[in-house]
């Protein structure tokens, strides 16, 4: 933790001035990432990676509780394998990175670095699934994937990113659909409970489905600047892949039938969502569940006798109730305050000679800078509630931001006006179901369709675009 004391924490661009620059500043100044000479790829630095490890740990536990097993597939996909499912290859081939040489020898067949692994899982399923007794298969893997994007941004869109991909195979369509919905709910619960990010659950329109899927479910979140971010998706494939890969099993009547399939994924993009949902002009604000350090002790006048000893003892007392840190470096308290605000540590505990005299410490919550004086013999008892309070407060602010920025519209003009007058946000509006109208709304207003929410409202009975009978209410918005 030793830092050059002369170097104060650099300030960052203000959010309102330039949100994009603010975002990049936070990524760098909070030491989440570092750029590399590999265009579109980044180093996820220890502080950023520790957030990802916490995300992994919680999600992995939720996957295992719902009966999933981890597995590991190769990172390469032979071109011929990728081509087996027509829609799938059309969707992914344009953004594949291709390996053409092994050492000095040209490969007989090109291999793509996996952009996603449905094809590899299908090949494996064909190998191991023969009878109804072999089903379901509930698999997940934690790996990185590559998509050759033109424009990239840390966490939000990078050529390589870390993710988990669940792949499951089921005897019936109904079971597969239930799985798709179950995992969407797991994602939504995780976002709301652990990341304190409210999400809208829904289904993508046909034009926005995953390549090869029959249905794509998604959760959509609204960032601080009013742009939408897709936080997780869950796909139902029907038996399309099974047919393309000739996966069959003999059912209870000894008849050969095709199984039904799903996949679902969440990525390091979630870290981007955290930054843009909770961050402020002082930097990152982390939800306690995934914060590498949940509370940081900053000793005041630490050269004075007894201060550091009491601070170390406090750390020991707190280590069983939270992830606790202490900064005993020779930097000034002011420097430390700014540093851990930048890094979004949810709680700061100040402890100086006078506090010790009064058997107390000062607890400061990062997101609202509220100070509370807490008795030292109560702090261990108080801390879990304090962290829960932080989570609730973050969630409520984010929800309040979303509600303030959600506009119910009946005409295209209303959309344009709402976005212009109140800034970007979610638009709720009716839709007839035609792709043409979907495209036109985006063209005219800038807001694309985000999802068909499970919670439908009948705003009007007409499509906002063509005026024909409306089939669904959609969420629309500009997206990351």
Q: Where on the chain is the footprint of a copy of itself (CB under 8 A)? A: 2-4, 34, 36-38, 41-46, 49-50, 52-53, 69-78, 81, 93-104, 110-111, 113, 120, 123-124, 127-128, 131, 133, 139, 143-144, 146, 148, 159-160, 162
Residue 159, φ and ψ in degrees, nearest 5: -65, -35
Which of residues 72 and 320 has its CB atom nearest to a copy of itself in the complex?
A: 72
Contacts of residue 254, Cβ cutoff 8 Å, sequence gap at least 6: none
Least distance to a copy of itself, CB of residue 290, Å: 15
Long-range (24+ apart) CB contacts under 8 A made by 458-463 are: 458/430, 459/408, 459/409, 459/410, 459/428, 459/429, 459/430, 460/410, 460/430, 461/430, 462/430, 463/430, 463/431, 463/432, 463/434, 463/437
Q: Tell me how far the alpha carbon of residue 358 is from its chain's centroid.
A: 43
Instruction: List the one residue out of 269, 294, 163, 48 whose CA is nearest residue 277.
Output: 269
Nearer to a copy of itself, 176 or 271 (CB): 271
CB of 347 to a copy of itself, least distance (A): 22
The residue (of 54 and 282) whose beta carbon lies closer to a copy of itself is: 54
Element (H, E) at 334: helix 333-342
End-to-end CA distance of the chain: 35
In Å, how far from its chain's centre is CA 78?
29
Question: Is 144 or 393 the residue whose CB approaches a copy of itself more closely?
Answer: 144
The H or E element containing residue 240 is helix 240-244
Tell me whether residue 193 or residue 250 sits nearer to a copy of itself (CB atom): 250
Q: Considering the complex, what minimum distance in angstroms separates the CB of residue 128 from a copy of itself?
A: 7
Alpha-carbon distance 24 to 30, whole Å?
10
Q: Are 249 and 132 in contact (CB under 8 A)?
A: yes
Q: How far is the CB of 91 from a copy of itself (least distance, A)?
A: 12
What's the rounded Cα separation, in Å, for the pair 163 and 175?
Answer: 25
Smallest separation (angstroms) from a copy of itself to the CB of 327: 14
Q: How far is the CB of 101 from a copy of itself (least distance, A)?
A: 4
Instruction: Give the strand pairing for 295-299 and 256-257.
Output: unpaired
Work out the number of other CB atoms within 10 angstroms of the CB of residue 127.
9
Pick the closer one to a copy of itself by CB: 15 or 33. Answer: 33
Backbone φ and ψ of 477, nearest 5°: 175, 165
| Residue nearer to a copy of itself on the CB measure, 322 or 470 | 322
C-beta of 110 vs 153, nearer to a copy of itself: 110
Q: Which is nearer to a copy of itself, 70 or 456 (CB)?
A: 70
User: Cβ 350 to a copy of itself, closest distance in Å?
Assistant: 24
As measured in angstroms, the least distance from the Cβ of 60 to a copy of itself is 9
Q: Kindly state the smallest distance separating residue 330's Cβ from a copy of itself, in Å.
A: 10
């Amino acid at each position: 933790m030793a830092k050059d004391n002369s170097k104060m924490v650099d300030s960052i661009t203000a959010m309102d001035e330039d949100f994009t620059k603010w975002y990049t500043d936070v990524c760098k100044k909070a030491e989440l990432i570092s750029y590399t000479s590999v265009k579109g790829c980044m180093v996820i630095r220890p502080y950023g990676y520790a957030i990802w490890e916490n995300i992994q740990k919680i999600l992995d536990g939720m996957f295992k509780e719902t009966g999933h097993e981890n597995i590991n597939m190769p990172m390469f996909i032979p071109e011929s394998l990728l081509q087996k499912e027509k829609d799938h290859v059309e969707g992914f081939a344009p953004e594949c990175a291709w390996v053409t040489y092994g050492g000095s020898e040209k490969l007989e067949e090109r291999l793509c670095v996996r952009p996603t692994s449905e094809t590899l899982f299908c090949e494996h399923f064909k190998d191991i699934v023969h009878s109804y007794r072999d089903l379901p298969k509930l698999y997940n893997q934690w790996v990185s994937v590559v998509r050759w994007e033109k424009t990239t941004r840390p966490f939000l869109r990078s050529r390589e990113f870390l993710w988990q991909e669940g792949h499951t195979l089921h005897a019936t369509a109904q079971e597969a659909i239930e799985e798709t919905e179950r995992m969407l709910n797991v994602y939504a619960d995780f976002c709301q409970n652990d990341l304190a990010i409210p999400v809208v659950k829904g289904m993508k329109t046909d034009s926005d489905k995953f390549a090869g899927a029959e249905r794509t479910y998604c959760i959509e979140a609204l960032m601080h600047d009013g742009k939408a971010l897709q936080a997780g998706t869950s796909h139902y494939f029907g038996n399309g892949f099974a047919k393309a890969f000739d996966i069959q099993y003999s059912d209870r009547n000894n008849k050969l039938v095709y199984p039904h399939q799903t996949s679902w994924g969440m990525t390091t993009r979630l870290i981007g969502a955290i930054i843009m949902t909770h961050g402020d002009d002082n930097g990152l604000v982390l939800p306690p569940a995934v914060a590498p350090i949940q509370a940081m002790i900053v000793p005041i006048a630490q050269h004075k006798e007894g201060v550091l000893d009491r601070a170390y003892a406090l750390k020991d007392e707190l280590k069983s109730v939270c992830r606790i840190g202490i900064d005993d470096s020779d930097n000034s308290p002011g420097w430390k305050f700014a540093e851990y605000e930048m890094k979004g540590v949810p709680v700061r505990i100040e402890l100086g000679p006078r506090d010790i005299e009064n058997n107390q410490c000062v607890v400061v919550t990062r997101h609202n800078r509220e100070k509370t004086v807490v008795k030292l013999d109560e702090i261990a008892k108080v801390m879990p509630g304090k962290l829960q309070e932080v989570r609730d407060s973050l969630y409520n602010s984010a929800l309040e931001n979303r509600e303030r920025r959600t506009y119910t519209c009946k005409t295209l003009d209303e959309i344009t006006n709402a976005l212009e007058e109140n800034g970007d946000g979610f638009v709720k509006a009716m839709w007839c179901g035609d792709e043409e109208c979907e495209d036109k709304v985006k063209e005219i207003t800038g807001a694309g369709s985000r999802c068909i929410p499970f919670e439908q409202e009948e705003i009007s009975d007409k499509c906002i675009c063509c005026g024909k009978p409306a089939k669904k209410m959609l969420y629309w918005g500009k997206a990351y």
